[in-house]
Chain A
């Protein structure tokens, strides 16, 4: 048996979720090869070769792969799958975009956002915003699985696999990259941060979001998240959204500030180790899952907390 794992990376660096996807593939069983598809991504391929459990790294390098677009990944991966039994993909925006396209080409029903791998055909995944956990058995000849990184412990980085280089697909494709606008920040990346501080609608403006949430995050060395309401209102950028339809995080510490705790938000953070909630409404549902709740006005509490840490 053999599994192909798609690496998540920024060309310059390997994203932590790759090691978690390798860990999920290890539970599946068989030989594991990691595909680093990118442009000038030698450093990411090098980092992938260190992951424990990896047989080899396949490094596909070329301009058509620079932005991880679905059509180019389809052209690259579908022929490769002749020699694999499974394709494991991190459930990131690149993975969620490309994997179903590849699955359909292989006539396979994808298993999305897997949180546990029981054996080579049985998987657990949350449905209904995590209000139910479904165990499914796939009857497809090949498996295509997206992996929820927050549910797996990263594979260690002490291995030494060989790196093999292959050509990128030629293109052109029917979709083309135009531009991107990436949020720049020196803070830990939300999806893999050990601590996360999130702000909700109560922050009431982008200025106050920045003024109250960011200093606390910096004191804690935390990544920054937000509720949908805060993102919709423009207080925080879209890539900060935590929840059913945003990012799923499970840090050691999650601080929810001025967030009510709708099921769609809880879906993205209720597996955090310690949850702190700060909310002026003592009936707010967030308190039902918080380890430590502080009832009061965030505009008083947060500066005091930041000052005393």
Chain B
């Protein structure tokens, strides 16, 4: 079974983003970028499936600027086989990403797409579900365990009340949650080997997808600042304070 893993290049999760003074967005100039953490989890899962003989080939796809090649290379160093970069400098919304991924799925015919549950920049949590809809495939979001039995995929999901397990016919879309696995670090030899793995470079137009945004940004602002409060000396002082503001 071929597995397709879409990965997004985002601001590194350790960096605190700064809103631009002109309120047009977040400042990404000279900011450390990295692979969306959920997408590392997706690649790890695909690589483990390959190690178990369940997956045969792992194709890593990113839609983004030329530098997203670096993000794909990280995935190749973790164990991906080849990459597809759909190059654009536009900010592409999940709906358009899903349409491009649909066209790639139709060309590549994978049995499984493993996406992240959420990109930590736009926090949309939408792309995997949208792709499943456009393909009329079943979906299992927020996965914390995945196993394959014949043509059936068993997926345990993190839901509001606890855990839920589904059985999916393949082909299917799965989105990954934090507890699915702990992604490996790419070793130096694997980073060197990844440099020789092929990456196809395409454009959204190659897939006939219009990436014009449906949501126009009116403004991007700083959140309301919380005033730092005070340190209290001991438990009695804390209780007195909480009583004085009616919190207890």
A interface with B by C-beta (< 8 Å): 67, 69-71, 74, 92-94, 96-105, 107-113, 122, 125-140, 173-183, 191, 220, 228, 231-232, 237-239, 244-245, 247, 252-253, 263-264, 270, 273-276, 282, 287-295, 301, 304-305, 308-309
Contacts and interface: CB of A to CB of B under 8 A. Distances in A.
A282 B230 CA distance: 12
A182 B238 CA distance: 35
Contacts of B138: 71, 173-175
11 contacts: A93-B142, A100-B125, A112-B124, A112-B126, A127-B122, A132-B222, A173-B138, A174-B138, A175-B166, A180-B159, A252-B247
B226 A289 contact: yes
A97 B142 contact: yes
A274 B242 contact: yes
Contacts of A133: 220-223
A309 B178 contact: no
Contacts of B163: 180-182, 238
The CB with the most chain A CB atoms within 10 A, among B13, B164, B248, is that of: B164
Contacts, number: 251
A286 B94 CA distance: 33
Given A110-B126, A253-B242, A104 B98 contact: yes
Given A101-B130, A294-B238, 19 more contacts: A67-B164, A99-B129, A103-B130, A112-B125, A113-B123, A128-B11, A128-B120, A131-B16, A132-B221, A137-B215, A174-B137, A176-B168, A180-B163, A231-B179, A239-B158, A264-B13, A274-B247, A292-B242, A301-B235
B42 to A, nearest CB: 14
B217 interface: yes
Contacts of A177: 164-166
Given A97-B141, A175-B167, A238-B179, A293 B230 contact: yes
Contacts of B168: 174-176
Contacts of A174: 137-138, 168-169, 172
Contacts of B117: 245
B248 A220 contact: yes
Contacts of A109: 93-95, 213-215
B188 interface: no
**Dominant secondary structure of chain B at its interface with chain A:** mixed
A228 B177 CA distance: 12
A301 B177 CA distance: 34
A232 B179 CA distance: 7
Contacts of A232: 178-179
A176 B169 CA distance: 9
Interface in B102-134: 117-118, 120-134
Given A100-B133, A110-B94, A183-B161, A305 B139 contact: no
Nearest to B26: A132
B154 interface: yes
Nearest to A67: B164
Q: Which range holds the interface residue count of chain B? A: 35 or more
Given A131-B16, A132-B221, A287 B94 contact: no
Interface string B128-161: 1111111001111110100000000010011111
Contacts of A134: 217, 219-220
Interface in B171-229: 172, 177-179, 213-223, 226, 228-229
Contact of A132 (B17, B127, B130, B169): B17
B95 A292 contact: no
Contacts of A105: 133
Contact of B229 (A135, A183, A290): A290
B115 to A, nearest CB: 11
A104 B129 contact: yes
A101 B216 contact: no
Given A137-B218, A238-B144, A238-B163, A131 B120 contact: no
A108 B95 contact: yes
A294 B166 CA distance: 44
B241 interface: yes
B66 interface: no
A135 B219 contact: yes
Contact of A96 (B141, B179, B217, B236): B141
Contacts of B142: 93, 97
A109 B248 CA distance: 43
Given A244-B120, A292-B242, A74 B133 contact: yes
Nearest to B137: A174
Nearest to B228: A288
Contacts of A180: 159, 161-165
A101 B221 contact: no
Contact of A136 (B95, B128, B218, B238): B218
